[in-house]
Structures are given as structure tokens and as C-alpha cells.
């Protein structure tokens, strides 16, 4: 009443009181009474705020991409902000201009310029998977911007929420990605089959090598046995030759001994030799006598043999 007003602001609001073009008081969370006709009140929110944006940009391969994200910022130097934008209040407590709404627009426009330069250097496929690079580029560009610094604004973060291509291009990329995945799956199946075939080949090769090694060992065993048999046969042949040589020598010795025995009696009649042998059987001598008689039968006119002689011979034969 009578032009006096009471102002109380939260800590997230920075207030500057001007009187006669000079700053009377300033700070956050103030509460004071002032005379409205002679004072100008500037009220600047210093809490962090989110500035959403949506850009429609063209990529390096002339494809449209819709970029959606948000900038998180806060007023770090309210005096610079008050110098660049009109945050003064009316007597009713409303802003006297639309400048407070332009802060987000200026930040969004600056971010779009940075995003435009980035997307023109990227193909659509690279841009879709490079959202992190785009957000980092926008964040770095905003913090280095002279306009943002002159506004006294601190950029806290930049987040890219989505990057979408045109619907028909999205379907084409999905089809291409699907075909690429199917091709990779086919290659993986083929590689797995080739690995299985190679593994089976190695197993077969190992089995064949094992069989060959076994056959070599068996051949060595057979050769060893054959060599042993040959050695035995050679020894046996040597033994037989020795036995034959010994038997030949024994036969020659017996022949020499027999010859030495027979040479002295070569001219003696055999009957004399038999008669000289007193150990002869009398029947044998009688048989020889009959043989001589038979050889000289032509000279013998009559031969009488007594029954007693025959009986005696027969009786000795029965015994």
C-alpha cells in the first residue's frame, strides 16, 4: 500500500535491487520491503534447469535425422545474465519482457549450430551409433561458446535422448542390419561346421597315424621274430653240418678200421674162417656140410644119413 511492497524469494532465486541506477542489495533467498516507484527489482532463477531441443539435420550421405535431447544448465553469474537479458519485475511481480524465455532458445540455437557441423561430417549409420560423440561435441561447444559465457550460464550436461532417421530409411537400415546379422549367423554356422570337419579330419588322421605306428611296431616284431628264426635255422644248419661232418668222420674211421681188419684175411677161405671160429653152432656146421654135399652132388654116388643124426638135429632145434 502507498507503493510499498514486500519481497521474499527462495534460495534458488537471485534478486538484484536497483535504485537510481545503482545496486542497493543483491543475493539469493532475500526478504525485504521496498518502495516500488523508486526501485527496480530483477529476479533471476539460479536453480538448474533443463532445456529440451529437437533438431532435424542432414547427414554426410544426405539423409535426414531427427535429434532429440536436452541441455542441463544454471545461471552461474546473475549479474551477467541481468546485463544481457531483462529479468525485471512489474509492480504485480511479473516479468516486464519475454527475455527470460529467450535464454533456453539461445542455448538451443547454439547447440543446433554445433550439432549441424557434427552431423554433416557423419554418415547416417555412424550418427545413429555415435550419440555419445554428438553429446560430447555439443557440451564442449556450449562451454567454449562466447555467447554462453557472456550470458553467465554454466552448462552442466548435454544428453542425446534419441536419433531417428526417416521411416523409410529406418526400415532400410533395419533390413540391412538384419541381413548382416543373418550373414554373420551363416558365417558362424559355416565356421562351426568347418571346425567340426577339421576336428573330425584331425581325429581320423590321428587314428590312421596310430594304425600306421601299430603296423610299424608289428612289422618290427615280425622282423625280430624272423631274424631270430633265421639265426636259429643258421645255428641248426651249422649243427647239422657239424653232425654230418662228425658222422662222415666216424664212418671213415669205421671204414678204415674194417679195412684194417679185412685186409689180412682177404685170401683165406671163408669156410676155414668159420671153422676157426670155435663158437659156431654145430647145426650151422652141419648145414654147411650139407651145402658142400649139394654142390658136389654129381660126384657123390650115394649118401646115407642116419636117423639118429636127424633126430639129434631136430631135437636141438626144438630146444
Separation CA 93–CA 43 (nearest Å): 9
Q: Please list, in sequence order, all residues whose beta carbon lies within 8 angstroms of the beta carbon of residue 286, skipping any fewer than 6 positions away.
A: 313
Rg over alpha carbons for the chain, rounded to the nearest Å, is: 70
- pTM of this structure: 0.56
Whose cell is 519485475? That residue is 89
With beta carbons less than 8 A apart as the criterion, state whether 100 and 114 touch.
Answer: no
pLDDT values of the chain reduced to their tens digit, one per residue, 319 residues: 577 888 899 999 999 999 988 999 999 999 999 888 889 999 999 999 999 999 999 999 888 999 999 999 999 999 999 999 999 998 888 899 999 999 999 999 999 999 999 999 999 888 888 889 999 999 999 999 999 999 999 999 999 999 998 888 878 877 877 888 888 888 999 899 999 999 999 999 999 999 999 988 888 888 888 888 888 888 888 888 888 888 888 888 888 887 777 777 666 666 666 666 645 566 666 666 677 767 766 666 666 767 776 677 666 555 5
With beta carbons less than 8 A apart as the criterion, state whether 77 and 149 touch.
Answer: no
With beta carbons less than 8 A apart as the criterion, state whether 82 and 41 touch.
Answer: no
> CA dihedral in degrees (181, 187, 188, 191; nearest 10)?
-170
Amino acid at each position: 500500500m502507498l507503493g510499498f511492497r514486500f519481497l521474499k524469494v527462495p534460495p534458488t532465486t537471485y534478486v538484484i535491487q536497483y535504485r537510481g541506477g545503482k545496486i542497493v542489495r543483491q543475493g539469493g533467498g532475500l526478504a525485504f520491503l521496498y518502495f516500488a516507484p523508486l526501485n527496480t527489482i530483477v529476479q533471476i532463477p539460479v536453480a538448474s534447469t533443463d532445456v529440451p531441443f529437437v533438431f532435424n539435420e542432414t547427414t554426410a550421405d544426405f539423409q535426414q535425422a531427427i535429434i532429440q535431447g536436452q541441455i542441463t544448465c544454471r545461471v552461474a553469474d546473475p549479474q551477467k545474465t541481468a546485463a544481457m537479458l531483462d529479468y525485471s519485475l512489474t509492480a504485480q511481480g511479473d516479468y516486464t519482457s519475454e527475455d527470460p524465455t529467450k535464454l533456453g532458445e539461445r542455448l538451443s540455437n547454439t547447440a543446433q549450430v554445433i550439432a549441424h557441423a557434427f552431423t554433416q561430417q557423419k554418415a547416417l549409420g555412424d550418427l545413429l551409433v555415435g550419440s555419445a560423440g554428438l553429446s560430447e561435441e555439443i557440451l564442449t561447444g556450449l562451454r567454449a561458446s562466447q555467447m554462453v559465457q557472456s550470458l553467465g550460464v554454466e552448462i552442466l550436461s548435454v544428453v542425446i535422448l534419441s536419433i531417428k532417421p526417416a521411416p523409410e530409411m529406418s526400415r532400410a537400415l533395419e533390413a540391412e542390419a538384419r541381413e548382416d546379422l543373418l550373414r554373420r549367423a551363416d558365417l558362424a554356422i559355416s565356421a562351426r561346421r568347418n571346425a567340426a570337419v577339421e576336428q573330425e579330419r584331425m581325429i581320423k588322421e590321428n587314428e590312421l597315424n596310430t594304425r600306421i605306428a601299430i603296423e610299424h611296431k608289428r612289422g618290427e616284431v615280425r622282423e625280430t621274430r624272423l631274424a631270430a628264426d633265421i639265426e636259429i635255422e643258421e645255428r641248426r644248419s651249422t649243427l647239422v653240418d657239424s653232425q654230418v661232418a662228425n658222422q662222415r668222420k666216424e664212418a671213415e674211421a669205421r671204414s678204415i678200421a674194417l679195412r684194417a681188419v679185412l685186409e689180412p684175411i682177404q685170401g683165406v677161405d671163408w669156410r676155414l674162417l668159420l671153422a676157426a671160429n670155435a663158437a659156431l653152432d654145430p647145426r650151422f656146421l652141419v648145414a654147411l656140410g650139407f651145402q658142400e654135399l649139394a654142390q658136389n652132388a654129381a660126384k657123390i654116388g650115394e649118401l646115407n644119413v642116419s636117423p639118429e643124426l636127424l633126430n639129434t638135429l631136430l631135437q636141438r632145434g626144438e630146444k
